[in-house]
A and B are shown apart, each in its own frame.
Chain A
Amino acid sequence: MAEVKNKEARIGVFVCHCGTNIAGTIDIEAVKEYAKTIPNVVVADNYAYMCSTPGQNKIADAIKEQNLTGVVVAACTPRLHEPTFRNATAAGGLNPFRFEMANIRDQNSWVHMHQPVEATEKAKDAIRIAVAKASLLEDLVPKSVPVEKTAMVVGGGVGGMQAALDLANAGIKTYLVEKSPTIGGRMSQLDKTFPTLDCSQCILTPKMVDVYRNENIELLTYTEVEAVEGYIGNFDVTLRKKARGVLTPKEAEARGIVGGGCTGCGDCANVCPVIKPNPFELGMAPRKAIYIYHPQVSPLIYTVDFDACVKCGLCVEACGEKKAVDLEAQDEFMTVKVGTAILALGYDIYPIEKKFEWGYKNFDNVITSLEFERLICASGPTGGHLVRPSDGETPKKIAFVLCAGSRDNTDTGKPYCSRFCCMYSLKHAHQIIEKIPGAVPYIFYMDIRSFGKMYEEFYYRIQNEGAKFIRGRVANITEDPVTKNLHVNAEDTLLGRPIDMEVDMVVLAAAIQPSAETEKTRRLFGVSCSQDGWLLEAHPKLNPCGTTTAGVYLAGVCQGPKDIPDTVAQAEGAASAASIPIHRGEVELEPYFAQCIEEKCAGCGMCVYQCPYQALSLVEKDGRTVMQVTEAKCKGCGTCGGFCPGGAIWMQHFATPQIVAQIDAFLLGGEQ
């Protein structure tokens, strides 16, 4: 707690043009001249791009020449360039925390583009406010903390698997947490993948095996995150291992069952009397109360659905000496320490029945694209024969409705583009032409977005194969009650005429949305989301894998719709980002800690209850009760400092005198 030495402050002010971003609206010269008149300012300068090397050099040089005690840069936003200018400040030999930024771009020139006079006045005020704070800033030293050499990936789809493999192969022990009984995610439900048309399972299964076999990966399926505490380098994550009712060979061994545990033989499921729809097959095929989703699951361990199980015990008998089934299993909790974490939570299909005008769930032969994937897949419920749910007949005339619920600003739709529906619908069109002689796909589209490498070429190919394209949004679909055929009503916007087309089947390329537990999980990790619920990256262009919570990164669709190549690329980026702190071995935490001003502290202890992190306690000191801060626990929110009735808490970098000086500087024009 340095003494406040306002009178001795020597501040340098640097005004950035940001090309014309700022200078196009704000009168830089006037602002600079004004800055020179602000108390404590000894030098004011301007430059086209303060963040460039010459701009940064100006700061360092001025610090040395003018013996500055503080630096103010009026430019973009501290959320972009505070680290840059802190470095420049340090390069001049000053403590980097003696830097303060005035935001005159993002919160000024860009939002008052047509009011140059007012914007210029606002910039002057912003600089005066920043100078007031800079005059009172003190030297601070970031706290270095060691980083736990383990990582966690939440979500075991293709994104999470890739991230976990990369981390593990970089030598980092990684926990891969997946809520369902198997890894694989949505990709394992797909038949083929655009634009190369390789078989999805064929390219995914080897990866699933790699994950299972990798010594550095601890695979925790059927497991959910319950609580997260701590900060970058030192997260304590509490996991709930849901009762699976079946022991792995390892678990069996731990219980002294020699040579026991599930081998995946399926004898249990053969005898289980309870039949339920299999969610992996979207309810189009049955499973037992003791089940696996599909033969390629990883790990190959059965799971008991305790909501369905009638506890008849037949499976226990069938399992015999392996003694793998434990019908008394309970949820287990475990807490692990990790240095960094990646969220790869994926997506769900939007409940497209909300668009009642298309009749999904009312009309038998209206299906979703994901259902199409299962029906056309050789390992799916129909052995790869696309059939009409109403009568088992092979459809010949099939309508594909693109942007079903996507790019839709009504209450029942999603405003964004789901990004892979155009491409997979082209793939579906190809598949029916290839598999069903004489079949014709009719694609109702708004625009075909084939933006990726070899995607446009794929589009041409499907056009040439004979798919029919109709540009127009489908208004409604009706069903012929006798034939169960469907009438698709749309407007062909290229020909400008209405269409009523009778088809055998309709496939809705339904919008996607964040997966069911995304909201809960992101809150545990303190990650923000955009209005649509997709997780928010730290910067849309410059930091698309990071989040505003240090040490937490994003991969795959949970950050926004993307196809498999983009998911894998982002996962590799996230893994690389998450490995950096671990390889460095330590991270610096911003030293915005609370401190007790013991002379003022009355020892009332009311602040202790304000802190969400239990960082405060009361101690006896020189015969008096005073508050004490445990710096390692304090995250610097300032909630205690906003509360202490005696003003006895000094919030480093956001101290009461500093904030009051900002308020006074604005309202009283800098005079005290």
Chain B
Amino acid sequence: MADENWKPKIIAIICNWCSYAGADLAGGARIQYPPDIRAVRVMCTGRIDPLFILKAFQDGADGVLVSGCHFGDCHYLEGNYKAAKRMFLLKSVLKNIGLDDKRLRMTFVSASEGAKWGMVMSDVVKTINELGPSPLKEFAR
């Protein structure tokens, strides 16, 4: 299946207040990172319905990143705790359907952590490159 031209398709669903701001800050600081990830902005990671992530994998995503504020820093107090719980449960679902749970990752990047955002980007791309194309890809449409 490993296609010569395969490039990972990774989606990041990130909160407005911390990770999106951190990603913007990485830009301001001109921190360079791999261009394989596309971001979707939500107000808080608490908004992220596990079905969004399953939908992404069903659509053939090779990886999904969920990124929000640090614990205690969520703009809405505790959305990120709820998101973390949901992602934890979701990982076992992924395993059950035969996906490596490393394809789903949750990180916490604050509005001041531009450099960390760059590191997260590189690291996620590296992980997905190592895992190769998602086995669900051929079913996607």
Contacting residue for A79 out of B24, B48, B60, B110, CB 8 A? B24
Q: Is B84's beta carbon under 8 Å from chain A?
A: no
Interface residues on A, range: 35 or more
Contacting residue for A125 out of B30, B33, B38, B73, CB 8 A? B38
Task: Return A524 CB to nearest CB of chain B, in Å.
Answer: 10
Q: Which stretch of A57-65, A217-225, A499-507, A636-644 is in the interface? A: A636-644
Q: Mark each residue of chain B from 79 to 90: 1 if its CB lies under 8 Å from any CB of chain A, else 0.
A: 100110010000
A548 and B24 in contact (CB under 8 A), knowing A111-B118, A643-B82, A663-B52?
A: no
Residue contact A548 to B39, C-beta cutoff 8 Å = no
Q: Which chain B residues (86-141) contact chain A, with CB distance < 8 Å? A: 86, 110-113, 118, 140-141
Report B-chain residues with C-beta under 8 Å of the C-beta of A99: none
**A118 to B7 alpha-carbon distance, docked (Å):** 11
Residue contact B111 to A107, C-beta cutoff 8 Å = no
Contacting residue for A637 out of B27, B52, B76, CB 8 A? B76
Residue contact A79 to B112, C-beta cutoff 8 Å = no
Residue contact A106 to B38, C-beta cutoff 8 Å = no
Q: Which chain A residues (404-423) contact chain B, with CB distance < 8 Å? A: none
Smallest CB gap from A123: residue in B: B35
A637 and B112 in contact (CB under 8 A), knowing A660-B55, A667-B56?
A: no
Interface residues on B, range: 35 or more
Contacting residue for B46 out of A106, A111, A637, CB 8 A? A637
Task: Return A196 CB to nearest CB of chain B, in Å.
Answer: 35
A548 and B59 in contact (CB under 8 A), knowing A110-B28, A113-B30, A667-B140?
A: no
Q: Is A115's beta carbon under 8 Å from chain B?
A: yes
Smallest CB gap from A662: residue in B: B40
**A666 to B56 alpha-carbon distance, docked (Å):** 9
Residue contact B9 to A666, C-beta cutoff 8 Å = yes
A654 and B111 in contact (CB under 8 A), knowing A612-B77, A642-B82?
A: no
Residue contact B47 to A654, C-beta cutoff 8 Å = yes
A79 and B47 in contact (CB under 8 A), knowing A122-B35, A642-B82?
A: no
Q: Which of B9, B27, B44, B112 has the most CB of A within 10 A?
A: B27
Q: Which stretch of A173-181, A334-342, A345-353, A529-537 is in the interface? A: A529-537
Contacting residue for B42 out of A78, A115, A654, A668, CB 8 A? A654
Q: Mark each residue of chain A from 360 to 392: 1 if its CB lies under 8 Å from any CB of chain B, else 0.
A: 000000000000000000000000000000000
A and B contact pairs by CB, cutoff 8 A, 17 listed: A103-B24, A107-B39, A110-B27, A111-B31, A122-B38, A530-B112, A531-B110, A536-B112, A549-B75, A638-B44, A639-B44, A639-B82, A642-B47, A654-B42, A663-B11, A663-B61, A666-B40
Besides A110-B27, A119-B35, 5 other A-B contacts (C-beta < 8 A): A654-B42, A654-B47, A663-B11, A664-B59, A668-B140
Name B's A-contacting residues (CB within 8 A). 9, 11, 13, 16-18, 20-21, 23-24, 26-28, 30-33, 35-36, 38-44, 46-52, 55-56, 59-61, 69, 72-73, 75-79, 82-83, 86, 110-113, 118, 140-141
